[in-house]
Amino acid sequence: MLEIGKQEADAAARAIMSGRLFRFGPGDECAKFERELAEKTGTKYALVVTSGTGALICGLAGLGIGPGDEVIVPAYTFMATPAAVVAVGAIPIIAEIDESLMLDPADVEAKITRRTKAIIPVHMVGLPADMNGIMRVARRHGLKVLEDGCQADGGSYKGRRIGAIGHAGAFSFNYYKNVTCGEGGAVVTNDPTIYERAMIMHDPGTAFRDHRADLSIEPFIGMAFRMNEIQGAVLRAQLKRIDGLLAKLRTNKRKVIAGIAGTGLKLVKQNDPEGECSTTLALMFDTEKKARMFVTLLEKQGVGAGRPINSGRHVYSNWDPILQKRGGHHPAMNPFRMPANKGSKVKYTKTMCPRTTDLLSRAVFLGVRHSWTAADVRKRVEAIKAAARELAGLRLR
């Protein structure tokens, strides 16, 4: 969570005092947020839902993904990304990341089969994926792209907002995100059919809503991912903050980077330094031993840091339910056992993406805060410089 306060409290109170808490009724907080989010992202349609996972599921449903299909996901992401693929009855195919720590377009192309229908690039820790590369691969093979922007609310890539580049985009608004209402999500798209299918998926009561008459497709039975008006009101206040918060984050990160120039430290490759959210300073070392030691040396200086390989949840080798093909609450609902997926030859192992493991082992992350003072920035700069000097003196291999 970046910042929350009186603006959000007033917005929540406004929704509560209206007495209109259900989004499909006389209330309009969720609808207004959707219009504001669409405008912010430069898309035609936005649909607010209950979580980032719900957004991915609705986005995949919007794309028409289901049994018999394969969807390529990165080996570095929260398990919700492949779990959403399983939730719609499809099979996730896990691909390597590249030096930017984002989905590698070359490995994506290598893993395309006749069953591949979509790609989900993930903009992890606020860093944009190589969307030009991903979209080129998608166009060559006639694939759909669903951007997972759950960790990059408000970010952009080459002048376009994250989520607006692929055929659809998904966001998360949980407690840890740049925009938050405690728990929530959204789907954005420029395609009316994707939007309508996502809308139907997020509300099993679509057949009875007033907007049913406006739909061009017949409602199917969806799930319940509806957001309430209190959350919608809070999100409207949060969305007004996002650009100012990202500006502060970017300023502080640039100051740290400028301050550590000349130390010999290497930044992780960035696909768009101007558009990234700047919530994370990512460094890359030439050996895992140096990365581990650098974290230890920083901690001696009173500055926290960590290696993404140790996140415990964002690395494919920790996704036991996926690796062991335990999909669905009932054996007949497990996509890995569905007849339509019988032809999918996917085999998962904990060592299947060695490049991902290597890169994440050699990377070091330091969090950046929008609230840092000049003294806070100096403290980080001096700590990083001191750790770099000590590391150089150790002559580790």
Any idea what the Cα angle at residue 225 is, between residues 223 and 229, rounded to 5°? 145
Any idea what the Cα angle at residue 134 is, between residues 130 and 138, rounded to 5°? 170
Q: Are 233 and 18 in contact (CB under 8 A)?
A: no
Q: Domain ranges in the chain?
A: 6-238
pLDDT score for 153: 98
Helix residue ranges, H only, the chain: 6-18, 29-41, 52-62, 80-87, 105-110, 131-141, 192-201, 229-259, 288-300, 320-323, 354-362, 374-394
- Catalytic sites, residue numbers: 177
Reduce the DSSP state of residue 156 to 3 states and report it.
strand
Show the low-confidence residues of the chain (pLDDT under 50): none
Domain over 6-238 is classified CATH 3.40.50.300: no
Closest CA to 386 of 257, 263, 270, 272: 263
What DSSP designation does 129 have?
Answer: P
Measure the CA–CA gap between 328 and 96, rounded to whole angstroms.
26
Return the structure tokens found at 131.
Answer: 């969307």
CB-based burial of residue 233 (10 Å sphere; 0-12 exposed, 13-18 middle, 19+ buried)? buried
pLDDT score for 22: 95
Return the structure tokens found at 27.
Answer: 């209330």
pLDDT score for 395: 75
Closest CA to 45 of 164, 148, 160, 149: 164
In angstroms, the Cα distances linking 181 to 5, 14, 72, 150 are: 12, 15, 30, 14
pLDDT score for 258: 98
Measure the CA–CA gap between 118 and 57, rounded to whole angstroms.
13
CB-based burial of residue 32 (10 Å sphere; 0-12 exposed, 13-18 middle, 19+ buried)? middle
Measure the CA–CA gap between 136 and 260, rounded to whole angstroms.
36
Its pTM surpasses 0.75: yes
Measure the CA–CA gap between 122 and 96, rounded to whole angstroms.
12
